[in-house]
């Protein structure tokens, strides 16, 4: 009923927008602002949407919980001073995000149930940020997010602000946000203006929000900015093709899609159209990447400078409604049952189920595959496996890596990023830092050397059947010393995982197999079995072709100023160097090793569905 009522409201809104369009002069046929909603609020959530939100709060336990979290957040905000112009390293980003969070929390509660103290606190925040000397344009994400915060506050509180306050805030949006943005797009052309990664979406999103907030008062500025942002975000949105995967990993998928949705949602509420952007290939399906990259214990396959935690993603509710994917909403409720931000409530969708979600997935555009035994069971088996591209933004040198969950624990882990403020972290020193090196990942090294930063590894075979699901990646470009290198990962009968490697060359190859784990590890006397113990659960890793090989362990140590590792063990296999090396490791519950015969990876490929 909620969705049906909402659809009726949308139809009525579309009719009203059509009426507004008739009042636009004839010469404005190609004017991007021809359908601009003249009144406020017009960004992201219209007043006509609020009854749906209020109804959800009354009748849905998730929405009720989100609302209670919003109230608690607001009470805390009321006791805190406004944000300061305080850099952390080269960034003002933390302050920008704090301002955005505070303004949207206070604004949402005020719009649902007006309270003068909420408005006054939001007004203080707004006047504070526009009084800053700048929003740190040298790191333009900071500008984009602060512009977004100011734009939402200006738009949502427009009717409550005095004319003087409106003038002050609008001036700040223009001088601290939009003018630096125009200068970047049109004159200085920093790298983000040509990027196809998250920076393009965040910067375009912030500039679009600022432009639409004041478009009726500063139409020439908006008309100049909007096409520039459209070009930038179109370039980035092509990265979702063909199937919604994201090469920067789940963490930056969240950031990129958050601002991509701000952009699209604001277009629809302010202009009544999406400028043709929603049809970009892969965008409608990208919620699947979020779902599949999250394991059963709510940890992500955190490749590419991401932590393994899974932050709530309110954009999943927007995707669910806009693209008729109610399963996206159901998955988000399952992954994020508690309050995260205001849009989790404002875009909340109560529909959908996860019961028909596929247990396996292959994202061809980014060469990542996922397999699991089931959804909704914390003890399910789950593996994320990647080939990919070492040149991708935020990439580590990790082609062939995997993570493994089972029995409620993570057994093979990714160490994630280090401190972004380390010297030259995104420059020449990047791959001198341990967490970003090949040996720190669950893959192969040749004599502990890094993979080339330019290497790619396509997934060349994939199959999904109930008793055997697998993928194979060609790692040959990752190991130039070898003639051929391939890795296959298979889930067998939904209760064990096989990792099998084949490497060949013209000379003896010093291959090392590595896996990082936070489990306690015990090696059998013959070195063929590693028992992993964590959180009261136990699994075993069996070295199936153990001749001349054995499991070993070490505690990796890294030097300051890198962040120390805590509780991490490196499980590794160091075969005798040879021209042909095959390594096969089977992970299974203790005492549950299936009987099986190893087949060459080329035979796996015979069953592949990959194109």
Residues of the chain with CATH 2.70.98.70: 366-605
Residue 337: predicted pLDDT: 82
Q: What is the pLDDT of residue 607?
A: 61
Q: What percentage of the chain exceeds 70 in pLDDT?
A: 94
- 3-state SS record for 360-398: EEEECCCCEEEEECCCCCCCCCEEEEECEECCCCCCCCC
pLDDT at 214 over 60: yes
How, if at all, do strands 402-406 and 368-372 pair? unpaired
Phi then psi for residue 523, to 5 deg, are: -100, 135
CA 510 to mean position of chain CA atoms: 36
For the stretch 424-459, pLDDT in tens is 999 999 999 999 999 999 999 998 899 999 999 999
Looking at the DSSP bridge assignments, the partners of residue 488 are 472, 500
**Is 484 in a helix, a strand, or coil?**
strand
CATH superfamily assigned to domain 81-240: Chondroitin AC/alginate lyase (1.50.10.100)
Confidence at 4, pLDDT banded by 50, 70, 90: very low
Burial of residue 410 (number of CB atoms within 10 Å: 0-12, 13-18, 19+): buried
Q: What is the mean pLDDT of residues 127-132?
A: 98
Tens of pLDDT along 340-363? 899 999 999 999 999 999 999 999
Which one, of 610, 598, 589, lies nearest residue 532 by Cα? 589
Which overall architecture, per CATH, does domain 366-605 show?
Distorted Sandwich (2.70)
For residue 304, is pLDDT > 70?
yes
Using a CB cutoff of 8 Å and minimum separation of 24, what contacts does 383-386 make? 383/489, 383/491, 383/497, 384/292, 384/293, 384/295, 384/301, 385/471, 385/473, 385/489, 386/301, 386/303, 386/457, 386/473
Across the chain, mean pLDDT equals 93
C-alpha–C-alpha distance, residues 365 and 282, integer Å: 9
Residue 188 sits at φ, ψ, to 5 deg, of -85, -25
122-143 mean pLDDT? 98
pLDDT of residue 605: 79
- Given a cut of 50, whether residue 26 has pLDDT beyond it is no
Q: Where in the chain is the domain with CATH 1.50.10.100?
A: 81-240
Q: How many CB atoms lie within 10 A of CB 191?
A: 10
pLDDT at 6: 44
């Amino acid at each position: 009923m909620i969705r049906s009522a909402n659809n009726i409201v949308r139809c009525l809104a579309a009719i009203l927008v059509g009426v507004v369009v008739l009042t636009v002069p004839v010469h404005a046929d190609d004017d991007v602002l021809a359908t601009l909603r003249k009144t406020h609020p017009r960004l992201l959530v219209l007043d006509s949407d609020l009854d749906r939100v209020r109804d959800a709060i009354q009748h849905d336990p998730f929405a009720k919980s989100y609302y209670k979290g919003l109230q608690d957040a607001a009470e805390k905000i009321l006791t805190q001073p406004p944000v300061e112009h305080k850099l952390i390293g080269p960034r003002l980003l933390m302050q920008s995000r704090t301002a955005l969070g505070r303004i949207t929390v206070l604004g949402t509660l005020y719009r649902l149930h007006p309270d003068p103290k909420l408005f006054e606190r939001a007004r203080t925040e707004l006047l504070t940020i526009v009084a800053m000397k700048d929003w740190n344009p040298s790191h333009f994400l900071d500008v984009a997010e602060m512009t977004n915060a100011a734009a939402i506050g200006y738009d949502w509180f427009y009717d409550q602000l005095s004319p003087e306050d409106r003038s002050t805030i609008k001036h700040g949006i223009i001088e601290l946000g939009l003018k630096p943005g125009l200068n970047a797009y049109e004159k200085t052309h920093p790298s983000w203006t040509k990027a196809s990664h998250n920076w393009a979406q965040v910067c375009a999103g912030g500039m679009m929000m600022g432009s639409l907030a004041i478009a009726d008062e500063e139409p020439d500025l908006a008309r100049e900015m909007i096409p520039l942002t459209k070009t930038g975000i179109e370039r980035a949105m092509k990265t979702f093709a063909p199937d919604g995967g994201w090469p920067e990993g789940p963490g930056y998928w969240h950031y990129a899609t958050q601002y991509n949705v701000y952009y699209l949602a604001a277009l629809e509420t302010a202009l009544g159209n999406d400028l043709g952007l929603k049809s970009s290939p892969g965008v409608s399906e990208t919620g699947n990447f979020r779902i599949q990259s999250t394991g059963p214990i709510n940890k992500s396959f955190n490749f590419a400078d991401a932590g393994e935690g899974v932050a709530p993603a309110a954009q999943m509710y927007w995707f669910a409604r806009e693209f008729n994917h109610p399963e996206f909403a159901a998955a988000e409720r399952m992954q994020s049952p508690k309050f995260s931000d205001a849009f989790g409530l404002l875009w909340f969708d109560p529909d959908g189920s996860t019961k028909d979600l596929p247990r396996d997935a292959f994202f061809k555009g980014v060469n990542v595959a996922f397999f699991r035994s089931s959804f909704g069971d914390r003890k399910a088996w789950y593996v994320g496996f990647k080939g990919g591209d070492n040149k991708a933004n935020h990439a580590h040198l990790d082609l062939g890596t995997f993570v493994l969950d089972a029995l409620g624990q993570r057994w093979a882990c990714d160490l994630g990023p280090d401190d972004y403020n380390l010297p030259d972290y995104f420059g020449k020193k990047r791959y001198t830092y341990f967490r970003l090196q090949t040996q720190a990942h669950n893959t192969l090294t040749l004599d502990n050397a890094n993979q080339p930063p330019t290497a790619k590894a396509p997934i060349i075979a994939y199959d999904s059947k109930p008793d055997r699901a697998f993928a194979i990646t060609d790692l040959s470009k990752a190991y130039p010393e070898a003639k051929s290198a391939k890795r296959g990962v298979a889930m067998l009968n939904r209760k064990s995982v096989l990792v099998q490697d084949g490497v060949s060359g013209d000379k003896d190859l010093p291959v090392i197999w590595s896996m990082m784990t936070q489990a306690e590890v015990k090696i059998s006397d013959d070195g063929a079995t590693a028992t992993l113990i964590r959180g009261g659960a136990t699994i075993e890793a069996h070295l199936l072709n153990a001749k001349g090989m054995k499991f070993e362990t070490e505690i990796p140590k890294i030097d300051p100023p890198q962040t120390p590792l805590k509780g991490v063990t490196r499980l590794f296999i160091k075969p005798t160097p040879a021209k042909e090396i095959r390594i096969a490791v089977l992970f299974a519950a203790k005492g549950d090793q299936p009987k099986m015969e190893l087949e060459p990876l080329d035979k796996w490929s015979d069953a592949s569905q990959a194109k």
